[in-house]
Homo-oligomer: A and B are copies of this chain.
């Protein structure tokens, strides 16, 4: 039996605020963990500024290279919210009022409060399908394999819950972890030997340096639980022997 390959995903963060250092991105880690769980591992992240050409180029590169692409940020009511229009341009489809999104927002705000800036949030690729936003009304959307979410973490997370139901899940990527108060170099050769022997388990070695003490965190990841456990046991024996 040929084992089915997991689908792969990528994340595009549209965010001057990350590139300027004003904001520390926290969405990546959340999305990465979720995608490991459902077996659609995150395989690339890009952060680009709010510049149309740059967003479109990155979108087109990622949507051709990965099964699923997530975007965060830039779908609000202000002048710097250009993501929706960029997605329409990247796909070469019409950008305009999305009737269903318009209706959702009209109901959410009430007629008198449904101002022009708020109406902008109903503009998107007209062929898009909507992603509900239980937190603050304005929906996300998807076109083919590109899923567009808000950047505000709480809203993004609620949209991701819905997106997860739309994706083709694979085998969960499980991980086990061993920490040792030794520099990496002490175990480098043995770890490398195990890695070449068992390529199905991804073995990462991450150094840390705290209070003058070298530490190494060894992270083993695989969709194959039995193999993962056997590598863990071997690494544990190795570490105890130090």
* A residues at B contact (CB < 8 Å): 16-26, 28-36, 41-50, 54, 76-81, 115-118, 120, 135-136, 151-152, 154-155, 173, 175, 177, 184-189, 191-192, 195-196, 202-209, 214, 219, 221
* The residue from B18, B54, B184, B219 contacting A77, defined by CB atoms under 8 A apart: B184
With the chains together, A175 CA to B205 CA distance in Å?
38
Which residue of B18, B28, B155 contacts A18 across the interface (Cβ within 8 Å)? B28
8 further interface pairs, Cβ-Cβ under 8 Å (given A21-B42, A44-B47): A20-B33, A21-B29, A21-B35, A50-B204, A76-B207, A79-B195, A152-B207, A154-B209
Interface residues of chain A: helix, strand, loop or mixed (majority):
mixed
- Whether A19 touches B43, Cβ cut-off 8 Å, given contacts A152-B209, A185-B118, is yes
Contact A18 B41 (CB under 8 A): no
Contact between chains at A32 and B19 (CB < 8 Å): yes
A208 to chain B, nearest CB (A): 6
Count of chain copies: 2
* Chain B, Cβ-Cβ closest to A79: B192
B19 touches A33 (CB 8 A): no
* Chain B residues, Cβ within 8 Å of A155: 209
Q: What's the nearest-Cβ distance from chain B to residue A217, in Å? A: 9
| Residue from B43, B76, B78, B188 in contact with A78 in the complex, judged by beta carbons closer than 8 Å | B188
